[in-house]
Amino acid sequence: MVLQIEDCVDCLGYLYPDFDYVFELDHSSGHACERPDGLTSVLQQLNWNWGGKQRVMRDSVLNEKCIGELRHDRAAEVDSTYSHVFLDNDLPPILDPKAPKYDGVVVLKYKENVPMTVPELRKQLEENSLSSDGKKDDLLKRCQLGNLPVKHRVAIKEEGYVGKAQGAAHIGFERGFWDSNL
């Protein structure tokens, strides 16, 4: 950038020798920033699999360069609006065909011996007419003295795919660039 400014000063000095020049430069690190819902292929922002913590990208209209050569019944078409989020009428993710459609609680699966949270400990103490004042250590001691459980089993919540980000594998599959059978 310094060499470019020197060239500008040389040119301006030749064209307008009676003027002084002031340059305003922007050294912002925000030039490489993207929209929060912007389209990306950056691995830190797009997982291979669906859901989880990853960027939820906006819809886009696909052109010829966005469509690969692999054809199948779920392939996206040129000039179609493509959603990077699973919609209500979408089939399950290609890598997880048995995924539930909606978030929910699976009653058949439990996680055992999960420590109770402070609100759960307080509720349990209050239901047994015991003081629920104090910090977690105080609550734990009070529960143990009252022979009340401090751990319990929790139903495992299973994530449904509707409304979740698709992930690179599913996007590549629907666009015809990748097939799980290859």
| Residue 27 domain-assigned (yes or no) | no
| Residue 122 domain-assigned (yes or no) | yes
Nearest-5° Cα angle at 38, 36 to 41: 115
Cα(124)–Cα(143) distance, integer angstroms: 8
CATH of the domain at 121: 1.10.720
pTM to 2 decimal places: 0.59
pLDDT digits (tens, 9 = 90+) for 81-138: 999 999 999 999 999 999 989 987 565 678 889 999 999 999 999 999 999 999 999 9
pLDDT digits (tens, 9 = 90+) for 26-72: 777 666 677 777 777 776 778 899 988 888 888 999 999 999 998 88
- Straight-line distance from the first to the last Cα atom of the chain, in angstroms, rounded to the nearest whole number: 48
| Residue 86 domain-assigned (yes or no) | no
Range of the domain at 123: 104-158
Cα(173)–Cα(95) distance, integer angstroms: 10
| Residue 63 domain-assigned (yes or no) | no
Q: Is residue 24 scored above 90 in pLDDT?
A: no
pLDDT of residue 31: 63
Domain count, the chain: 1
| Residue 149 domain-assigned (yes or no) | yes
Judge whether 142 and 131 are in contact, CB under 8 Å. yes
| Residue 137 domain-assigned (yes or no) | yes
| Residue 130 domain-assigned (yes or no) | yes
